[in-house]
């Protein structure tokens, strides 16, 4: 197949020319993690955003403590505020909350909301259900500590990017089915939802998945995450049979992302079930295009993401 580079927006061409990761497997996974950690910029001073950032540990009955970064606006409000549970990306095998620190500082500052970002356990060392259990523990903690944080429990939303978006979709399903904790909104940025994407069973459109996150990466990551477990919802959101009563959703994807069609299909299922769902598809972009922060599309995304979250959390 010929390259799809010509379909990338001119400002995003560098993403085709200089990939950060060229291979992921059992032998180099730790090296890839270290490479990404080493390339991450130092944490920003939260005071410049008038945000208090704390590292917290959340205990759970079955499993280790869950480390999270908590962002709380310094300004005191007369009324209670909204909250957002953020889940980082990385194919279920990479990443940390620190990689999304600047985005969460900006979001907490501009919207005046509390944010908790979860350092969930990664596969393959910790396959399902461990990552989702960690995210559910963070959701429970937000609800149980809502009074002390001045949070309106009816305005707690969730979201994330890539695998983080996949975990957010899984969390929404689990929370709906258990009925313990309300979620008012889910923000899904090119979420990783379907374990069959990129396989021989479901190779997908040849125009997607050339850059950043490939079919080979996807197959490896899903196998690390699911291992020998049954492939079903909530851990694999695309396998869900009943979409009713899930929270209002914002589904964002881009034309060259490997996840494009699974994202569009998931949004259609939500709509068919009567769930309010925005579906946004940008042309000329690939997975993780926001890394080119000064690009026209990254700036547009930032505005659209914040405006959608503002609506969803009723800020």
Give the pLDDT score at 77: 72
Whether 3 and 210 have beta carbons less than 8 Å apart is answered as: yes
CATH number of the domain within which 45 lies: 3.40.50.1820
Q: How far, in Å, CA of 260 to CA of 192, rounded?
A: 10
pLDDT per residue as tens digits for the range 268-312:
999 999 999 999 999 999 999 999 999 999 999 999 999 999 999
Tell me the β-bridge partners of 187.
Answer: 159, 250
In the set 101, 134, 257, 295, the catalytic residue is: 257
Question: Which single residue is written with the structure tokens 């994807």?
Answer: 253
Q: How many domains does the chain have?
A: 1
Known catalytic residue at 2:
no
In the set 187, 194, 287, 295, the catalytic residue is: 287
Instruction: Count CA within 13 A, CB hemisphere, residue 56.
Output: 19
Give the pLDDT score at 2: 78
Tell me the β-bridge partners of 71.
Answer: 53, 115
Give the pLDDT score at 78: 66
In the set 109, 162, 238, 295, the catalytic residue is: 162
Write out the residue range of the structural domain in which residue 93 sits: 5-312
Known catalytic residue at 3:
no
Give the pLDDT score at 176: 98
**Beta carbons within 8 Å of 85's beta carbon, 6+ residues apart:** 115, 116, 118, 135, 138, 139, 142, 156, 157, 158, 159, 168, 171
Ranges under pLDDT 70 in the chain:
1, 78
Known catalytic residue at 162:
yes
Q: How far, in Å, CA of 94 to CA of 178, rounded?
A: 28
């Amino acid at each position: 197949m010929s390259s799809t580079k010509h379909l990338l927006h001119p400002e995003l061409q560098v993403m085709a020319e200089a990939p950060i990761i060229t291979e992921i497997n059992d032998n180099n996974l730790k090296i890839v993690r270290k490479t990404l950690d080493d390339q991450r910029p130092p944490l920003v001073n939260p005071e410049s955003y008038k945000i208090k950032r704390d590292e917290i540990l959340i205990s759970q009955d079955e499993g280790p403590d869950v480390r999270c970064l908590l962002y709380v606006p310094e300004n005191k409000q007369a009324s209670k505020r909204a909250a957002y549970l953020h889940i980082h990306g990385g194919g279920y095998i990479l990443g940390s909350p620190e990689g999304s620190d600047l985005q969460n500082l900006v979001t907490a500052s501009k919207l005046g909301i509390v944010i908790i970002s979860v350092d969930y356990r990664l596969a393959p060392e910790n396959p399902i259900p461990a990552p989702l259990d960690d995210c559910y523990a963070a959701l429970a903690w937000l609800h149980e500590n809502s009074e002390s944080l001045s949070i309106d429990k009816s305005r707690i939303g969730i979201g994330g990017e890539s695998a983080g978006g996949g975990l957010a979709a899984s969390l929404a399903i689990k929370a709906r089915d258990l009925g313990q904790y309300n979620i008012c909104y889910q923000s899904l940025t090119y979420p990783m939802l379907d374990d069959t994407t990129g396989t021989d069973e479901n190779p997908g459109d040849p125009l997607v998945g050339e850059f950043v996150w490939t079919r080979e990466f996807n197959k490896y990551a899903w196998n690390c995450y699911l291992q020998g477990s049954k492939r079903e919802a909530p851990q694999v959101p695309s396998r869900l049979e009943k979409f009713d009563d899930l929270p209002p959703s914002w589904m964002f994807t881009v034309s060259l992302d490997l996840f494009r069609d699974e994202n569009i299909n998931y949004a259609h299922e939500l709509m068919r079930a009567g769930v309010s769902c925005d579906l946004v598809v940008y042309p000329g972009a690939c997975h993780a295009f926001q890394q080119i922060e000064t690009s026209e599309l990254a700036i547009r995304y930032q505005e659209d993401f914040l405006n959608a979250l503002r609506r969803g959390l009723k800020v």
